[in-house]
Amino acid sequence: MLNDLPRLAITLGEPAGIGPDIVLTLAQQSIPARLVIFADPEVLLQRASQLGLTIQLHTYCSDKPSILNPHQPGHLYVQSIAVSQPVISGKLNPANAPYVLATLQQAGQSCMDNHFDALVTAPIHKGVINEAGIPFSGHTEFLAEQTGAKTVVMMLAIPGLRIALVTTHLPLSQVSTAITSFRLESIIQTLNIELKNKLGIDTPHILVCGLNPHAGEGGHLGQEEIVTIIPTLNKLRAQGIQLIGPVSADTAFTSSSLAGIDVVLTMYHDQGLPVLKQRGFGKAVNITLGLPIIRTSVDHGTALELAGTGQASSNSLYCAIQMTLEIIMQSRSKR
């Protein structure tokens, strides 16, 4: 039924990047949902002209959230948020960093206010936000603080493989210190619960990577496995969570290791994501678990060199929206 169509809040991301391109390209397709883009309408119109795309914009009235028609190709509803300075494709401007965060803040709040069923985000540029003097480490951390979530888990998924992270956007030199028993326990408990609630996996099987080469080689290549990781996994196994590991990351992604596994938990950002992106870049979906709202994102960055060229693919955004709709349906089935 049309009245049951999910309502999605979509942020445009860094305006000088490919966020506007992929949203505008996606808008030409049929999508069984109600969409609202949180952005400056002029940015969309300017980029549409640059790309040779036809788009008709409609004003979304946040004070009348019930008035929102199903998506029609070539049309977009927009929650208007103004940029500080004109946007030039491919040219970062720190003056527009507050605008980027304002779109994310307003879209996130609208989801918390139950005006939308989920949030889908286009890529941002962390560097230019920090250059503007605003401490910022990523969508995941921003939304965790905004929503008051105690533990959030960054997970990326492609067909046949899901990878979750214990630490996210940290320098490698800080990873070992960040992997505490408390953090690891919280991450695994959240991952286990969210795989059940949002993805409908009744008994999740989680493969856990070690931190060190060969998972520490019995302490000869590091103590983190012996001191922290193994005792924590044993504690959680006693609670009934299905855990395998810690295993050496260099064999964790073989076919035999992945048999029967629902998700691989890696200790840091670049331990597992290169494998996933090599297998399915452009098809992966970033899912934030542990938030009180549903949030997904693309698997790529702002690709400044492609902005306004017509060469940017909207496939990852399309996959993110498809995954979001599946999660919404799964969540509704549990009510």
pLDDT digits (tens, 9 = 90+) for 209-264: 999 999 988 989 999 999 999 999 999 999 999 999 999 999 999 999 999 999 99
pLDDT at 334 > cutoff 80: no
Across the range 157-170, mean pLDDT stands at: 93
Q: Above 60 in pLDDT, residue 300?
A: yes
Binding site feature residues for substrate: 139-140, 277, 286, 295
Over residues 88-143, the pLDDT tens digits come to: 999 999 999 999 999 999 999 999 999 999 999 999 999 999 999 999 988 988 99
Q: In whole angstroms, what is the distance from residue 301 CA to residue 154 CA? A: 16
Q: State the binding site.
A: 139-140, 169, 214, 269, 277, 286, 295
Task: State whether 143 and 75 are in the same domain.
Answer: yes
267 and 123 co-located in one domain: no
Residue closest to 128 by CA, chosen among 71, 83, 193: 83
Q: What pLDDT band is residue 335 in, cutting at 50, 70 and 90?
A: low
| CATH number for 63 | 3.40.718.10
Q: What is the mean pLDDT of residues 150-171?
A: 94
Which residues fall in the annotated binding site for a divalent metal cation? 169, 214, 269
117 and 215 share a domain? no
Q: Does one domain contain both 123 and 5? A: yes
- Structure-block tokens of residue 281: 């870049």
Q: What is the DSSP letter of 242?
A: E
Q: What is the pLDDT of residue 138?
A: 87
Sheet hosting strand 118-121, strand order edge to edge: 56-59, 75-80, 34-39, 7-11, 118-121, 295-297, 285-289, 153-158, 161-165, 263-266, 205-209, 242-247
> In this structure, are 87 and 168 located in the same domain?
no
**Nearest residue to 17 (alpha-carbon basis) of 124, 103, 139, 105:** 124
Same domain, 17 and 128: yes
Same structural domain for residues 254 and 163?
A: yes
Instruction: pLDDT band for 1, please (50, 70, 90 cuts).
Output: very low
Structural domain boundaries, residue 15: 1-149+291-334
**277 and 228 housed in the same domain:** yes
Question: Within a 13 Å sphere around the CA of 40, how many CA atoms are in the beta-carbon half?
Answer: 20
| Whether the Cβ atoms of residue 201 and residue 195 lie closer than 8 Å to each other | yes
Interatomic CA distance for residues 44 and 182, integer angstroms: 44
- 139 lies in the same domain as 155: no
Question: 157 and 268, same structural domain?
Answer: yes
pLDDT at position 281: 84
Q: Give this prediction's pTM.
A: 0.91
pLDDT at 115: 94
- Tell me what pLDDT residue 2 has: 44
197 in the same domain as 124:
no
Q: Count of domains in the chain?
A: 2
Secondary structure (3-state) at 38: strand
